[in-house]
Structure 1
Amino acid sequence: MRLPLWHLTLASIRNRGLATVLTVIAIALSVALLLGVERLRNDARASFANSVSGTDLIVGARGGPVSLLLYSVFHIGDATQDVSAARIEALRTHKDVAWLVPLSLGDSHRGYRVVGTTADFFAHVQTGDRQPLRFTAGRAFDGVFEAVIGAEVADALGYAPGAKIVLSHGAGDFAAAEHADKPFTVTGVLARTGTPIDRSVLVSLAAIEAIHLDWQGGSRIPGVEIPPQFVQKFDLSPKRVTAALIGLERRSAVFRLQREINTSPGEPLMAILPGVTLDELWRIVGGVERALLAVSAFVVAVGLAGLVATVVSSLSARRRELAILRALGAGPGDVFMLLLLESVLLALAGSGLGVLVLWALSAGLSPWLMAQHGVQLVPRLITPNELMWLAAVLGAAVLASLVPALRAYRYSLADGMTVRL
Structure 2
Amino acid sequence: MNRLFFLTLAAKSLLNRRLTAALTVLSIALAVTLFLGVEKIRMGAKESFDNTISGTDLIVGARSGSLNLLLYSVFRLGDPTNNVTWESYRAFAERPDVAWTVPLSLGDSHKGYRVIGTAPAYFEHYKYGRRQDLTFAEGQPFEKLFETVLGAEVAAKLGYRIGDEITLSHGIGSTSFANHEDKPFRVVGILAPTGTPVDKSVHVSLEAIEAIHLGWQSGARTPLAKMFTKERVEAMKLQPDQITAFLVGLTSRAAALRYQRDVMTYRREPLQAVIPGVALAQLWQVVGVAETALTAIAAFVVFTGLLGMLTAILTSLNERRREMAILRSAGARPWMVFALLMSEAALLAFCGALLGIAAVYLGFAAGAPFIEAQLGIFVGGLYPGLYDLLVLGAVTGAALVLGAVPAFRAYRNSLADGLTIRL
TM-score range, shorter chain: over 0.9
Q: Could you report, residue by residue, the CA deviation over 1:340-381 in whole angstroms, capped at 9, with x for unpaired residues?
A: 011101101011111111112212322222112211112513
SS, match of residue 288 in structure 1: helix
**Which residue is equivalent to 1:47?**
48
What are structure 2's unaligned runs of at least 5 residues? none
TM-superposition CA deviations, 1:269-311 (whole Å, max 9, x none): 1000011011101111111111111111110111000010111
1:355-394 map, 5 Å? 355-378=357-380, 380-394=382-396
- 1:79 paired residue number: 80
Q: Which structure 2 residues correspond to residues 129-148 of structure 1 after superposition, within 5 A? A: 129-148=130-149
**Structure-2 residue corresponding to 1:15:** 16
Tell me by how many angstroms 1:175 deviates: 3.3
Q: How many Å apart are 1:174 and its aligned residue? A: 6.5
Q: How many residues are aligned here? A: 421
* Partner residue of 2:269 out of 267, 280, 283: 267
Match of 2:399 in 1: 397
For 1:150 and 1:173, the matched residues in 2 are separated by 17
For 2:238 and 2:386, the matched residues in 1 are separated by 55
Contact 1:24 1:349 in 2 (8 A): yes
The question of whether the paired residues in 2 share the 8 Å contact of 1:362 and 1:379 is answered with no
Rounded Cα–Cα distance in structure 2 between residues aligned with 1:386 and 1:316: 36
Q: Aligned partners of 1:104, 1:387: CA distance in 2, in Å?
A: 48
Q: State the Cα deviation string for residues 229-252 of structure 1 (Å, max 9, x = none).
A: 111344420111000011111111
Maintained 8 Å contact 2:354/2:392: no
* In 2, Cα distance between equivalents of 1:188 and 1:235: 24
Q: Hey, what's the Cα distance between the residues in 2 that align with 1:105 and 1:86?
A: 18
Look up the match of 1:325.
327
Question: CA distance change for structure 1 residues 162 and 264 in 2, over 3 Å: closer, same or farther?
Answer: same
Aligned to 1:162: 163
Query: Which of the numbers 330, 344, 347 marks the counterpart of 1:345?
Result: 347
Name the TM-score, length of structure 1 as normaliser: 0.97
TM-score norm. by structure 2 comes to 0.97
1:314 aligns with 2:325: no
Deviation of residue 2 (structure 1)? 7.9
- Does the 8 A contact of 1:52 with 1:274 survive in 2? yes
Measured against aligned partners, the alpha-carbon deviations of 1:140-195 in whole angstroms (never above 9, x if no partner) come to 00001000001111111111111111111110247341111100000001111110
3-state secondary structure, aligned to 1:75:
coil
Residue 407 (structure 1) aligns with: 409
Report the Cα offset of residue 398 of structure 1: 1.5
1:317 match: secondary structure: coil
Aligned partners of 1:82, 1:196: CA distance in 2, in Å?
Answer: 21
8 Å contact kept, 2:113–2:174: no
SS of residue matched to 2:188: strand
The structural deviation recorded for 1:85 is: 1.7
How far apart, in 2, do the equivalents of 1:175 and 1:274 lie?
32
User: Once the two structures are aligned, what percentage of the paired residues are identical?
Assistant: 50
1:187 aligns with 2:188: yes
Q: 1:2 to 1:249 in 2, by over 3 A?
A: closer
